[in-house]
């Protein structure tokens, strides 16, 4: 049975002390993962540095990025795996959009 393509949104928070090159590298890896699995990115919204609601791993602020994409479920699993192993990511969330 073939997986359906659905709309997803991921929000990830990067360490605030990362260099711009490192931030771009992480964003590019996320985009490449989606593209490599036949997904389609529909919107990228870089919020920049924001105050966190509570301290995470000794950080009080983080660099937020919101990315919307259409993909299969297998892409979500791969994204979550990548987020877990990247040092620069302090939090992430992937949710399915309802439309």
Chain segment 18-76, per-residue pLDDT in tens: 999 999 999 999 999 999 998 999 999 999 999 999 999 899 999 999 999 999 988 99
Give the CATH number, domain containing residue 24: 3.30.70.60
Residue 59 lies in a domain: yes
- Residue 86 CA to residue 14 CA, distance in Å, equals 10
Place of tokens 């950080």: 59
Residue partners of 80: CB distance under 8 A and separation at least 6: 92, 94
Residue 61 lies in a domain: yes
Residue 1 lies in a domain: no
Residue 49 lies in a domain: yes
Running DSSP on this structure, what letter comes out for residue 21? H
Residue 57 lies in a domain: yes
Output the pTM of the full model: 0.86
Residue 30 lies in a domain: yes
Residue 20: give the domain boundaries. Answer: 6-96
| Residue 97 C-alpha from the chain's centroid | 15
Domain count, the chain: 1
């Amino acid at each position: 049975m073939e997986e359906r393509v659905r709309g997803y949104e991921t929000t990830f928070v990067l360490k605030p002390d990362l260099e711009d090159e490192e931030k771009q590298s992480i964003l590019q890896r996320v985009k490449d993962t989606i593209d490599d699995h036949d997904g389609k990115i529909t919107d990228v919204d870089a919020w920049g540095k924001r105050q966190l609601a509570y301290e995470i791993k000794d950080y009080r602020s983080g660099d937020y990025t919101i990315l919307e994409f259409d993909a299969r479920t297998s892409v979500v699993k791969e994204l979550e795996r990548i987020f877990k192993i990247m040092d620069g990511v302090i939090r992430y969330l992937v949710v399915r959009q309802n439309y």
